[in-house]
Structure 1
Amino acid sequence: MNLHGVDLNLMVALNVLLREKSVTRAAEFLGITQPAMSNALKRLRQLFDDPLLVRTSEGMKPTERAQHLEPHVRDLLIQVEQVVQPVNKFAPEKSEHFYRIAVSDYGESALMPLVLAKLREMAPHISIDIMAPSDVSSHDVEQGFVDFVINRFDELPQSFYQTLLWRDNFKCVFAADNTIANNFDFDSYMEAQHIWVSKTGMGVDVGVNPDDVQRLGWVDAALNCIDKKRHISVFTRHYQAALQMVEVSEMIVTLPSKAAQLQKHNPNLVFVPPPFGIPPLELTMAWSPLLHFNPAHQWLRRLVADVAHEHADTSIRPNFEHRTNRELEEATVSP
């Protein structure tokens, strides 16, 4: 193939067309007219000698050739972006960069105050929009609309980069005047009513299924391993709300230690280790390969990781690294 006849802008158009599966939506995303996008698709079909997208009763569908091309086109654009990145170093003390990040309630409460203290010292002019993971989708992150997401994840798209920020043990919290305070053990724990607090992944959650134990998280999965199931009376996604509720009730909340520490000076609450083993919770930062080589993004990502690692529990300190899910999967099958 004569590369002189290949327009790189066509690869950008192809990437968006295969993602949106609509000429109209692709044109809107790139800010061009629909006829211009239709012409780009015509040129792409000539270039690859394949229709790429075909109309069906369910809308436009990619051909087999298009499905094969999609990851290669995405990787090509990532490499091009890396090549054309400016060589100037990011100057945080002068930058007025605007970041958009999605952070779970746990991460926002336990980690972000530490990060913001560092930011005010090192980059006083930048701005941050802190969103909830339910405000964004995997698609938003993959396309770089969100700089990164901090949460605990059951699964992530293969293309995402990720790094483990810290691991955290659990604490049981209840009111000091709760009758369980006089005899806290496994039996009294199981007889009590509980507040569940958690949220994994991204996107809008349709609600909790109390019978789907594996999706309820660390605590209930650990109980399920010993054929036990606790009685959950309240489901919430906010740690501060859960701590406030146990203070005025006979209920117990079992939550990560760093979240429990938000109320560690409250004399009305008792903090004790769970009466059974629970694997540590993992807080992870994930981001799009499209932003991986962006200097401003790299700087903030490194700062967040450094702050998290500095405050990680040394007794359960993880092996910190950032890799894509694809690399992690390959590492598990490599000799």
Structure 2
Amino acid sequence: MNISKVDLNLLVYLDVLLREGSVTKAANQLSITQPAMSNGLRRLRDLFKDPLLVRTSRGMTPTKRAIELQPIIRDVLSKLETTIKPEIEFSPLNSSRTFRIMASDYAESTLLMEVIRRLTTEAPNVSLDLITPSDVTFHDVEHGKVDMAINRFEELPLSFHQKVVWYDTFSCVTNRRNPLIEDFSLENYLGAKHIWVSKTGFGVGVGIDPKEVQKLGWVDAELTKIGKKRNIRVFTRHYHVALQLAKAQNIIATLPSKAASLYLDDSEVKILPPPFDIPPIALKIAWSPLLHHDAGHIWLRRLIVNVGAELTQ
């Protein structure tokens, strides 16, 4: 097929159609009539020799071919838009932009507290809208509705850009009056009561079944490898809750060391190394290719990475 005979506006139509999953919504997004969008879909079907979107009980559903095309089309349009629009420098001191960041409780309390402190002098009018992992989906990040996600990810869509902020080890936190600290052996660790903190992924969370060890995360996965299991009495999604409980009661919180270090100067808390090996975890930034070349986004990414590097020195 000769590319010169292809109406490139059709690629824009396809990008919006696949993002919105509706002819009506896509037409509204592009400020064209619904018949015009329907005609565009018909021409796209002729161009790709595929229905692309089919009506099912869940509404308009993309075909396998459409799913394969979506990241390719989006990448092409993103690069084209970056190429043709004038380059605008980002001025942190003069900007009043709001960045929406999905961040885990762990990232908020350890990394973003320092980032916010830096913003007060480097970008005093820039605002951060911090949202939790359960508030968003991968699609929100992919579509640029969320500027970036900062968390510990097991898997990310291939289209995402990502960068490691730091690697963190694990520590155990408990009340300084807990008699176990005198002999913090694996046997005594397993005999104690524990509080579990969620690793928090995208989307709405669900309850935890203590019997499903494989879903409990890094700490319990490593215990399983040596044929052991801990006695979890409390499940929470908040590190500060875990730390407060560990401080107040004879219960152990095993969590990333940077979170544990928030209580390093607390005389009522004892921080100990785990009595078994747990591999380090990576805190990462992930963002959409749609925002990869945005000047403000680039500035904020660099700031976050630099702060992360300073906090690990």
What TM-score comes out, normalization by structure 2 length? 0.92
Question: CA, structure 1 residues 133+92, in 2 after alignment: closer, same or farther (shift >3 Å)?
Answer: same
Residue 135 of structure 2 corresponds to 135
Question: CA, structure 1 residues 237+190, in 2 after alignment: closer, same or farther (shift >3 Å)?
Answer: same
Q: Indicate if the aligned counterparts of 1:114 and 1:307 stay in contact, CA closer than 8 A.
A: yes
Give the number of aligned pairs: 313
The farther-off stretch of 56-65 and 177-186 is 56-65
Residue 229 of structure 1 corresponds to 229
Q: Which runs of 5+ in 1 are unaligned?
A: 314-335
List structure 1 segments (4+ residues) > 6 angstroms apart after TM superposition: none
Rounded to whole Å, the distance in 1 between the matches of 2:293 and 2:309 is: 22
Rounded to whole Å, the distance in 2 between the matches of 1:252 and 1:155 is: 29
Rounded to whole Å, the distance in 1 between the matches of 2:33 and 2:211 is: 50
Shift of 1:36: 3.6
Question: CA, structure 1 residues 49+271, in 2 after alignment: closer, same or farther (shift >3 Å)?
Answer: closer
Q: Supply the AA of the counterpart residue of 1:107.
A: A
Shift of 1:239: 0.8
Residue 304 of structure 1 corresponds to 304
Q: Indicate if the aligned counterparts of 1:99 and 1:129 stay in contact, CA closer than 8 A.
A: yes
Rounded to whole Å, the distance in 1 between the matches of 2:132 and 2:21 is: 28
Question: CA, structure 1 residues 211+296, in 2 after alignment: closer, same or farther (shift >3 Å)?
Answer: same
Residue 119 of structure 1 corresponds to 119
Q: Supply the AA of the counterpart residue of 2:310.
A: E
Please list, as runs of the form range in 1=range in 2, the aligned pairs for 1:43-192 lying within 5 A after superposition. Answer: 43-48=43-48, 50-56=50-56, 59-63=59-63, 65-192=65-192
Q: Indicate if the aligned counterparts of 2:170 and 2:274 stay in contact, CA closer than 8 A.
A: yes
Secondary structure of residue in 1 paired with 2:290 = helix
Residue 41 of structure 1 corresponds to 41
Please list, as runs of the form range in 1=range in 2, the aligned pairs for 1:261-276 lying within 5 A after superposition. Answer: 261-276=261-276
Q: Supply the AA of the counterpart residue of 2:202.
A: M
Q: Supply the AA of the counterpart residue of 2:248.
A: V
Residue 9 of structure 2 corresponds to 9
Identity among equivalent positions (%) equals 54
Question: CA, structure 1 residues 171+67, in 2 after alignment: closer, same or farther (shift >3 Å)?
Answer: closer
Shift of 1:37: 2.4
The farther-off stretch of 272-281 and 31-40 is 31-40
Rounded to whole Å, the distance in 2 between the matches of 1:217 and 1:85 is: 44
Q: Supply the AA of the counterpart residue of 2:236.
A: T
Shift of 1:248: 2.1
Rounded to whole Å, the distance in 2 between the matches of 1:5 and 1:225 is: 60
Residue 203 of structure 1 corresponds to 203
Shift of 1:39: 3.0
The farther-off stretch of 45-54 and 129-138 is 45-54
The farther-off stretch of 298-307 and 46-55 is 46-55
Shift of 1:233: 0.3
Question: CA, structure 1 residues 205+68, in 2 after alignment: closer, same or farther (shift >3 Å)?
Answer: closer
Residue 259 of structure 2 corresponds to 259
Q: Indicate if the aligned counterparts of 1:103 and 1:151 stay in contact, CA closer than 8 A.
A: yes
Rounded to whole Å, the distance in 2 between the matches of 1:63 and 1:112 is: 40
Residue 246 of structure 2 corresponds to 246
The farther-off stretch of 297-306 and 14-23 is 14-23
Rounded to whole Å, the distance in 2 between the matches of 1:248 and 1:58 is: 49
Residue 323 of structure 1 corresponds to none
Rounded to whole Å, the distance in 1 between the matches of 2:218 and 2:68 is: 38
Rounded to whole Å, the distance in 1 between the matches of 2:170 and 2:87 is: 44
Q: Supply the AA of the counterpart residue of 1:255.
A: L
Deviations 1:128-156 (A, max 9, x none): 10111111100000000001000001111
The farther-off stretch of 63-72 and 94-103 is 63-72
The farther-off stretch of 29-38 and 211-220 is 29-38
Deviations 1:249-291 (A, max 9, x none): 2211111111111112211111111111111121011000111
Question: CA, structure 1 residues 5+105, in 2 after alignment: closer, same or farther (shift >3 Å)?
Answer: same
Q: Supply the AA of the counterpart residue of 1:103.
A: A
